[in-house]
Structure 1
């Protein structure tokens, strides 16, 4: 029920979530744009109205000034000419002045002292049409203050227009500040919404990434991870859960296979070891020295095979055990030990072994190094030329140990070079001998090299048809020891000391 309720608010797909995120993030920006438009429209309308009013009021104030001059002119002409028509014109001018003054008074306010003074003066001048010519002449001096008061009214109008302009500026500043605050607030909301929806999209992806990393590293949680997000990612999480269960099933099947196979191998091996032990004890009759030596090799090989089977039983433990057993050893002693294991195969193939004349001490993991050399030498014997050559070289190069195992025979095809170190891969060249290869030897050798922070590669060699180079970094200071020393190899192995321990310049493939 909780899962159903939690899914109701979520989009059903990733495109829907992205579209909804876009719309919600754009909503504050749309509000900001609307408010900015409203504020700009208000300022534009206010400026337009104020401009029209300013023009009208200024024009009216100037008209009042002109009418004051015209009234004075008509009065003076009447005093000279005594024409009643001139006084009639004067009365019309005074009436027009009164109408404009009342309109201007509504703008400036009745409390304005200039308006009050002008109205008082105008009231006295409006009685002139009722006066005689002599009385009109005596009041002509009143037009001087009247003109000055009309000009003052024009100044008051200009001051009022300037005050309105300042008000518009103040309002524009206020709107600007308000828009800045709104922009900061709404953009911050948009950013927070962007982060929120980014988290909604990224969270299931990170959950899937962690799950995939867990599957790849082998540390996957046994409890299924519930992905919360769009339907596509939820479905992908369910597929990963299914994949995790399938991997667990396959791992269990692998373990079961290894247990059964190890058990099946140990049964015939026990019979072989028991029979070999009876022969060594001469229960079936006396043995010649050569026969005793061969049986000794068989017994050692069966013991090694038993050790490998026991390691196979602890496969998981070995997979996670990446610790290095560091020790100082003589590389040439390792050469001799590995060659001793393959003495019978070397005798049968008639191969000539070439060793450098000087021994070399080094600090590394001797068991892993021996395992690498054992695989390389085994491959060289299995795929090498009958009666051919086997070169083993060791040298120190730039604080690194360089070991090369080369042999004569059929070169490795170019198409196989990129796949040599992959598990269970077998190239075009067929293995010679009674045993069929599994294709895992070089993979184990490469893994053993990487465990020591080294590298195993196939290189081109002008003197050999196949050459593998093992490079191991220094773990401690390594020094060469001994020069020109004889090596005690197994009887029957032909050794040729090379005059030049290192090859001419070669190129790594």
Structure 2
């Protein structure tokens, strides 16, 4: 399934999440209307039943009064009024019994009515009083039946309301849960592509691993951003290949004319083409010195190029005293007027020998180039918390704090002039930083009390016993 735009996905998710809430609102309105109808019906029933009971009470009172008047007067006019009162009582009883339906009192009232219909022939006053007393008792029982019927209807209504309330609670919980799930689903459709974009950016920043394939289930805008990031990765890779090739080719092409110049200088210095006068010897010395400096710059360029191409270091136990001795021998001429203090507290450390040698070469070369002339250089290698520490310190002008952050970037040169009058490439300290990083370590400028500038290289010794 191909998702639409980010706006469509957002609006669609919002509308989809509203569907359960709309259903809940509709059900609530339906239940509320049902409660309203139920309340209206029950209210009308109560009012109707109470009104019929009042009519029955009034009819019973009129009937009793008419019968007692007939017993005293025994006139036809009073008898007609009694018959009329009896009919009104019968009508009120029928209406009330129709509303109550299952009342047993209605049967007794029918018997009382049958007895009272013969009121003209009843001469016994005691018997008439008995009939009237039974009628009043049955009417009173009818009041109890009315109250019971009302209580039963209220109980049924309460039970229905409780059932409806429970149904409403379950429906609310279910529909709100569905709505939340839909919201989470819609947000996940947006969050997952964003997480993938963050993963791609992290891979590009760390330059490690391959990029994941393009997404097919994501909004068009995010797919477009992902496609642009893939294009950016390809472009960065092309630029990296161009840079590496440029460094490799430039260093290689410089070697050829440099070798010819060195060979020519050698022939001239050996007097192969004839003896040279003092002025020519002086010029030849300048050419030879410049050729050596140019050769050093080319070697650093090649060294940085090889460092960029190295993938994984090879760790082994290395004799640091031997490694440091070889390095100092290579810089014997540059160090002939300086004192080098060496402090080795460990004999072997776990490192990549080639990378560590590059670190030593560049740090000692940096100390010679930027340290004060005639002042000592301190080299210390020791262990601290399962880490091999290398300190190379020299006297001279301190490095400003604002320059430390950019000090290890490629092609960044210091502002102070070098002691050897060689124009540096700005690669030495960047090579140190990259070599330390390849060995899972780091390099930093630290403050020490015995020197003005100190570079500290820290290499973890995780496999040291």
Q: Deviations over 1:220-260 (max 9, x none)?
A: 75897256543432332232233133223313322432342
SS of alignment partner, residue 141 of structure 2 = helix
- Structure 2 Cα separation of the partners of residues 328 and 219 of structure 1: 29
1:374 paired residue among 361, 370, 373: 361
1:101 corresponds to 2:90:
no
85-94 or 408-417: which moved more?
85-94
The aligned counterpart of 1:361 is 347
Distance 1:138 1:314, change over 3 A: closer
Partner of 1:405: 392
Q: Which residue of 2 aligns with 1:252?
A: 241
Question: How far off its partner does 1:399 sit?
Answer: 4.4
CA contact (8 A) 1:43 1:168 kept: no
- Cα deviation, 1:474-503, whole Å, max 9, x if unaligned, reads 45668xxxxxxxxxxxxxxxxxxxxxxxxx
1:237-386 equivalence runs, <5 A: 237-268=226-257, 270-271=259-260, 309=302, 312=305, 315-316=308-309, 318=310, 320-321=311-312, 323-329=313-319, 331-347=320-336, 350-356=337-343, 360-365=346-351, 366-386=353-373
Aligned to 2:109: 118
| 1:41 alignment partner in structure 2 | 33
* Partner residue, 2:141: 152
> CA-to-partner distance for each residue in 1:355-408, whole Å, 9 max, x for gaps?
34x663132213332221211111111112222322223344444433321112
Q: 2:447: which partner in 1?
A: 460
Q: Secondary structure at the match of 1:431?
A: coil
Residue pair 2:413, 2:425 contacting (<8 A) in 1 also: yes
Q: Is the 8 A contact 1:61 1:104 kept in 2?
A: yes
2:197 matches 1:211: no
- Decide whether aligned partners of structure 1 residues 313 and 375 sit closer, same or farther in structure 2, where only a CA change above 3 A counts: closer
2: CA distance, partners of 1:258 / 1:168: 91
Corresponding position of 2:278: none
CA-to-aligned-CA distance 1:117-175 (integer Å, 9 cap, x gap): 423432442453xx267388864532233223323333332332222122212222321
Partner of 1:494: none
From 436, 458, 462, the counterpart of 1:471? 458
Q: How does 1:172-211 map to 2 (within 5 A)?
A: 172-211=161-200
TM-score, with structure 1 as normaliser? 0.75
Aligned pair 1:22/2:14, yes or no?
A: yes
Note if 1:78 corresponds to 2:70. yes
- Displacement after TM superposition at 1:306 (Å): 7.0
Alignment partners' CA distance in 1, 2:176 and 2:438 = 54
For 2:375, the equivalent position in structure 1 comes to: 388
Which residue is 1:441 aligned to? 428
* 2:283 alignment counterpart: none
Q: Residues 36 and 179 of structure 1 are in contact (CA less than 8 Å); yes or no, is this contact kept in structure 2?
A: yes
Question: What RMSD over aligned residues (CA atoms) do the two structures have, in Å?
Answer: 3.8
Q: Which blocks of at least 5 consecutive residues in structure 2 are unaligned?
A: 275-287
Mapped contact 1:364–1:452 kept (Cα < 8 A): no
TM-score w.r.t. length of structure 2: 0.82
Number of aligned residue pairs: give it. Answer: 448
Shift of 1:100: 1.5
The Cα shift of 1:266 comes to: 3.7
Aligned to 1:498: none
Q: Which runs of 5+ in 1 are unaligned?
A: 286-294, 479-509
Task: Provide closer, same or farther for how the CA distance between residues 452 and 258 of structure 1 changes in structure 2, counting only shifts above 3 A.
Answer: closer
User: Could you tell me which residue of structure 2 aligns to residue 484 of structure 1?
Assistant: none
